[in-house]
Amino acid sequence: MTGHDDLPAAARTRRLEERLIAAGLTSDEEIDGFLATMYATASPVNGATMVARAWTDPRYRDLLLSDGNAAAAEMGFDGLSYALRVVPNTATTHHVIVCTLCSCYPVSLLGPSPGWYKSFAYRSRTVREPRAVLAEFGLTLPEEVKISVWDSTSEARYMVLPARPAGTGELAAGELAALVTRNGLIGTALL
């Protein structure tokens, strides 16, 4: 137990795994299986699919904004481990999501979170100077667009409903979903 902090993280991880496996608390199969499932199912395509439907189906949009979990279940994403709350960008309001306390994130609908989302810089600055943070992503919003920052401090996880880009009226559902980026779902990009 002593001195193990000096080992590289990879060695410490393997040592911890071996101890837990020996104690019967997990197995290599379980860990491998968890990762395989996550890689196969957790993706921003999920959130994008929900957004695309909301753009074309007013009833679904209303459901998405009033009961995110029910809306997710309708698209086959049931059993979410969090309360999904979706917030819509408008002509005058742009939403941005952060978790200042630790980096909570809706992994099942957006995939694993990007490194920058977990950084001290993003966690500390987004609530204080969101325009400057968005500028670092290459996003400059007009003055009249106000920014609404959401700090995910509870069981709720937030996702942005981006505004539908102009000139997309003829696109099919799959093409619309392809326009929705992960950063658009977090609020650090427009589409």
Partner 1 sequence: MGGQTGFGPVPVGDDSGAPAFAADWEARVYALAAVLRRRGAFNGDELRDAIERLPPQGYLGASYYERWLGALETLVAEKGLAP
Partner 2 sequence: MTRDSVGYPAGSRVRVRTGDPDHHTRVPRYVRGHTGVVVAVLGDWPVPDDSARGIDLPRVETCYAVRFSAADLWGSGDHTVTVDLWESYLDRP
For partner 2, the binding residues (CB under 8 A) are 83, 85, 100-101, 127-131, 146-156
Cβ burial 120-149 (10 Å sphere, 16+ → b, else e): eebbebbeeebeebbeebebeeeeeeebeb
Cα dist from 116 to 35, 53, 99, 109, 124, whole Å:
21, 28, 12, 18, 12
- To the query of whether residue 103 is one of the catalytic residues in this protein, the response is yes
Determine if 166 is a binding residue for partner 1 (CB under 8 A).
no
In sequence order, which ranges of the chain are alpha helices (DSSP H)?
9-22, 28-41, 44-56, 58-66, 68-74, 107-110, 115-118, 120-125, 130-136, 173-179, 182-186
Instruction: Fill in the per-residue mask, 2 to 21: x = in contact with partner 1 (CB under 8 A), - = not in contact.
Output: --x----xx-xxx-xx-xx-
Work out how close the CB of 171 gets to partner 2 at its nearest, in angstroms, rounded to a whole number.
Answer: 32
Determine if 111 is a binding residue for partner 1 (CB under 8 A).
yes
Paired sense of beta strands 156-161 and 83-88, if any:
parallel
- Tokens 């960008």 sit on residue: 89
- To the query of whether residue 102 is one of the catalytic residues in this protein, the response is yes
Which among partner 1, partner 2, none contacts residue 111 (Cβ within 5 to 8 A by kind)? partner 1
Determine if 119 is a binding residue for partner 1 (CB under 8 A).
yes
Q: With respect to partner 1, which residue has the nearer C-beta, 88 or 125?
A: 125
- To the query of whether residue 104 is one of the catalytic residues in this protein, the response is yes
Residue 54: other Cβ atoms inside 10 A:
23
Determine if 178 is a binding residue for partner 1 (CB under 8 A).
no
Which among partner 1, partner 2, none contacts residue 173 (Cβ within 5 to 8 A by kind)? none
**Contact of 50 with 75, CB cutoff 8 Å:** yes
Q: Output the six-digit token pair for 68.
A: 């995110």
Binding site for partner 1 (CB under 8 A): 1, 4, 9-10, 12-14, 16-17, 19-20, 22-23, 25-26, 30-31, 34-35, 38-39, 98, 100-103, 111-116, 118-125, 127-128, 133, 136-137, 151, 183
The residues assigned a catalytic role are: 99, 102-104
